[in-house]
Amino acid sequence: MTGPLGGSLRSRALILAALFASALLALTGRLAFLQVVKHEELSRLAERQRSKTITLRPERGPILDRAGQPLAVSSRAESLFALPARIEDPERTARRLAAILKETPGAIRKRLEADRGFAWVKRKLPPAVAQAIRALGEPGLGFVEESLRLYPNRELAAHVLGFEGVDGRGLEGVERAWDSHLAGEPGLGLVERDALGREVTGLAAVIKRPTPGQGVVLTVDRTIQYLAEKELDTAWRRTRSQSALAIVLDPRTGEVLALAVRPTFNPNSFATATANEWRNRAVTDPFEPGSTFKVILAAAALQAGAARPTDRFYGEQGSITVASTVIHDWKRYGWLTFSEVLQNSSNVGAIKVGMALGRDRYYHYITSFGFGSLTGLGLPGESRGQIRPPERWSGLSLATMSIGQEVSVTALQLIAAFGAVANGGMLMQPQIVRATLDAAGHELRGLEPRVVRQVIAPETARSLTQILTGVVEEGTGHLAAIPGYRVAGKTGTAQKLDPATKHYSRAPGVLSFVGFAPADDPRVVMLVLLDEPKTEKWGSEAAAPIFAALGREVLRYLNVLPQDAPPVQIVRAGEPGTSVPVSLPEASRAAAALAPGTGRAALDADARSARMPDLAGKSLRRALSVLEALDTQVEVAGRGVVVSQRPAAGEALAPGAIARLELAPPTARR
C-alpha cells in the first residue's frame, strides 16, 4: 500500500518493533543482572528460604573422681523440633504428642502454633520416646542430636558437681565454674525443606560438627563422699536439723576429699528441686562459729607468747562483765590452765586470753588464717564471711570474738584453718579440681597443691595439737574419740541472733565439731555441722558422734593404721637381725574373718594355695595391708612405693615365706 496511509503503517510497525526490541533487551539485561551480578545474594536468600540453620550442642566433657570414677558423663539424645507453618492440624498433632511426652495438649499446641519458622517441642528425649514420635509420621516434625548430661551416682556430690541446664550451660558447682573447659564448641545443622517449603522429616543435616568438651578430675574420693553423705543424712534426719554439712579434707595438700550438704537434690532432675536445695552451704553460707573459733584464739595466743599451756586463768565462777555486758559461761569454773580453758570450752577463760592477746594481734592472726578472704576453691557463690577491722570494733568486740561471736565464717574457711594447725602451721589453699583432661581423656595439666602461708610455727602447731587431743580425751569432745586413733578437735555451740529481740536466742543454733586424726600424723581434717537441730542442743552431743563415726570409716578406708593393731615383723634390707614392728589395719583382718567358709581348715587351704599379689606402685602401708592376710614375713629396701618384688606377682607363696619389696620415691604427678 502506497500513499500517506501506507507510510503511517510502516512507521507504526517500526515503532512497535523497536519497543519489542527494547523490552527484550531490558529483560535480557535484567536476567543477566540477576543471574550474574546478584547470583550469590539470591543463592543465599534461596538457601535461607529452603533451610533453617540451628546450633548443634557439643558433648560435654566428663567429671571424674580422684580415682577416675565417673561423677558426670554425657551421652547422645534426640531433641524434637517443629516447623509450625508445615503443621496442618496443630490440635491433632498436640494430642498425639501429649500422650507420648506426658504433657498437656494445650502446652504442646502453644509450641506448635508459635509465630516463627522454628520451635523446640521437647529437648533430649529418651530413645524409646523419640522412636514413638518418629512412628507417628507427622509432617513438620524433626529431630536434632544433642548431648545429654547424666549423673550416674544421683545425689552423690550434687553440690560439688552442680548441673547442666537445658541450653547446655553449666549451672552451679564444678559444671558452672569449669563451664568453658567442659562445654566444647557448638556446631551447625540445617533443617532441610523441599522446593515448596515443606519440611523433610528426620535428623538435621550437619554442616559443622560440634567439638566435644574436655574433662576434669576432682580431688573428691567417691567412697569417702558416700561415707560422709551416709553419716550426715542419718544425723540430719534424726535431729530434724534445718540443714547439715560435712567436709573431709587432706591437711597436707588442701584437697577436698568429700563435701556433703543436706538438704540435697538429684542433678538428673534438678528442675524439680528448689534453689534452697541447690545451694552449696559449705561455701555460700557464713555463720558465727562459736567455740570452734577458740582454736584460732589459742593459736594466736601461743604464737604471740600471750599464753602458755600451763598459764592459769580464773573462771570467775561462771560470768564476767565486759563493757557493761554480763557474759556467762556454760559451767562455773575457778582456776583453769590455758589447756583446760580449751578442754572445757570456758567462755570466761577464752575472754581473758583474748584480753591478754589484744585486738590488733588477734585480728592479724584471724586474717592470716584466711578468715575474711575467699579460699580460692573456685566453686561459685563463695562468701568471704565478715571480719570487721579493729578500728570498727566496739568495747565488747574483743570479748565476743574471743568466743566466736560477732564474726562470721564459712565452713570451708574453718576447716582450712584447722587444716593449717594439722599441717604444722602451714595453710594450704583448698582444692577441688586435681587435673584437667583433653577430649581423649588424657591429662592436660595437673593442679598441684598450693601453700598460702605459714600462719604459726610448727612447734606452736604441735603444742596446740596436744591441747586439742586433751579436748577429746578429757574435755567436751570425748564423744568424738575414735578407738585406736588419737583425735584432736574442738566442739562448737553457736547461738543465733533472734531478729525480733536483736539478742542471741536460747534455741539451738549451729552445732559443730572440727578436728583431725591421727593427731600425731594427720591424714584427714573433718568438719561436721548441724544447723538448728530440733533434738540436740550441744555440739558435743550432736556433731561429735557423727565426726567419730565418719572418721572411723574414712581412716579404715585410707588404710591408716590404728595404734592398737597387733604388729607384724618387717626386716629392713641391710639391717640383719633388726625388725621394725608395723601395725596392720584391723579392717583387712575383719574382712578375712567375716568371709564365708573361713574356718581353720579353709584358712589353711587358702594359705597353701596363696599367690603373691601384684604390689607395684603401692605404698608400703597398702602393700602391708594386702600381705597381712597371708602368712608371710616382709623385707623392705628403700622408701616410697613398691618398684620391684620377690616373689613375682602370681607366684606361689608358701606359709612363712619372705616377701622382699624394693621401694623408691613415686614419680611426681604433673
| ∠ CA 607-610-613, rounded to 5° | 135
291 labelled catalytic = yes
In the numeric block, which cell numbers belong to residue 545?
A: 558422734
The tally of CA atoms less than 13 A away on the side-chain side of residue 245 is 28
Place of cell 502454633: 113
Nearest to 472 by CA among 404, 535, 547, 413: 547
Please provide the DSSP assignment of 437-467 as one string: E-TTS-EEEE----EEEE-S-HHHHHHHHHH
Nearest to 295 by CA among 428, 392, 387, 420: 420
Count of beta carbons in the 10 Å neighbourhood of residue 202: 12
CA–CA separation, 265 and 424 (whole Å): 37
φ, ψ dihedrals at 646, nearest 5°? -140, 130
In the numeric block, which cell numbers belong to residue 10?
A: 510502516
Cβ-in-10-Å burial (0-12, 13-18, 19+) of 98 comes to middle
Which of 74, 147, 243, 291 is flagged as catalytic?
Answer: 291
Q: Is 515 left (phi over 0), alpha (psi -120 to 50) or beta?
A: beta
| ∠ CA 371-373-376, rounded to 5° | 115
Sign of CA dihedral 282, 288, 290, 294: positive
What are the C-alpha distances in Å from 377 to residues 287, 364, 424? Answer: 18, 22, 21
CA–CA separation, 256 and 526 (whole Å): 10
Active-site residues, by number, are 291
